[in-house]
Amino acid sequence: MNDIGATRHTLRVTPPQLKELRSLKIAVIHPDDVDGMQLTQQLQRIGCQVQGFWPPVQVLPVGIDIAFIAVRPDTIGLRFEWALHEDAPTVIAVVTYENPTIVDAVLALGAQSVLPSPVRSFGLLTALVLARETHKEKRSLTRRLRKAEAKLLGARHLADAKAVLMTAHDVTETQAYDLIREQAMSKRTTIEEIAATIVHASEVLSLGGKRLS
């Protein structure tokens, strides 16, 4: 009994994902039919700022956090460049069919969640919060991955550059590193940058060497 009481003590805290609901800007790219109305009205009840668009738009206003988009047989041929952009809003597809053609179109949009037609008010809030959370996580993972990749490339360049200097100037690895670091300091740039330049220059020179021989 007490154990349950103790674990529950911390349970009732409002997640930040819910606190931001009323500041979200939402685009509803959907015909003005029963589903479109249900969707818009429920979003307004939740307290989101909603803007409707139809026919589908190729450019979204800035600052849209989430886009609901109807995926219908007559619009699956369209490409939405904004949906593929790095800072694209979270996309939630509204579907009337779930045959492979439609599912393919949903995948192509990079949708984070799907809302079946007929649209019901129940379940929308949870879908909204989860889709946004997944999308945010995905975006932050992508950014971290890109940073890690750049870091890795930099490390490889540094190793290569040190090797180049060690052979060309007959120095130790530590001395090679110090040379690179000094250059970076005087040129006010990063070690990785200097390393990349050395590797690049060495490739160009050795190419020239090949031609001479």
Partner 1 sequence: MADKDPIRIGILYSETGVTSTIGLSQLQGALLGIQEINEAGGIDGREVVAIRYDPQSIPARYAELTERLIVRDGVNVIFGCYMSSSRKAVIPVVEKWNKLLFYPTLYEGFEYSSNVMYTGAAPNQNSVQLAEFMTSNFGARVYLIGSDYIYPYESNRIMGELVQQRQGSEKLAERYMALNATAKDYKEVMADIRNKQPDFIFSTVVGESTAALYRAYADAGFDPKSMPIASLTTSEAEISQMERGMATGHYTSAPYFQSIQSDVNLRCLARLRQRFDGSSVPNLCWEASYFQMHIFANALRQSGDEGIAQLIPHILGSEFDAPQGRIKIDPTNHHTCLYPRIGRVNTEGQFTIVRQATRSVYPDPYMVTHSLGDWTAKLDALDV
Q: Which residues bind partner 1 (CB under 8 A)?
A: 4-5, 8-9, 11-14, 18-19, 21-22, 41-42, 44-47, 121-122, 125
To partner 1, the closest distance from the beta carbon of 135 in angstroms equals 20
Q: Which is nearer to partner 1, 93 or 129 (CB)?
A: 129
Torsion of CA 38, 42, 43, 45, to 10 degrees: 150
Q: What distance in Å separates the CA atoms of residue 31 and residue 25, rounded to the nearest whole number?
A: 19
| Triad 80, 83, 85: Cα angle to 5° | 115
Cβ at position 18, least distance to partner 1 in Å: 5
What is the edge-to-edge ordering of all strands in the sheet holding 90-95? 49-53, 25-29, 66-71, 90-95, 113-116
Give the Cα separation of 44 and 165 in Å (integer): 65
Compute the least distance from the CB of residue 133 to partner 1, in Å: 15
Question: Which residue, 47 or 61, is less far from partner 1 as judged by CB?
Answer: 47
| Shorter beta-carbon distance to partner 1: residue 48 or 158 | 48
CB of 116 to partner 1, least distance (A): 15
d(CA 111, CA 178): 49
Nearer to partner 1, 133 or 160 (CB): 133
Q: Which is nearer to partner 1, 23 or 206 (CB)?
A: 23
> Min. distance of Cβ 31 from partner 1 in angstroms?
19
Contact 95, 74 (CB under 8 A): no
Q: Which whole-number Å values give the CA distances from 30 to 11, 79, 102, 117, 127, in the listed order?
A: 38, 16, 16, 12, 17
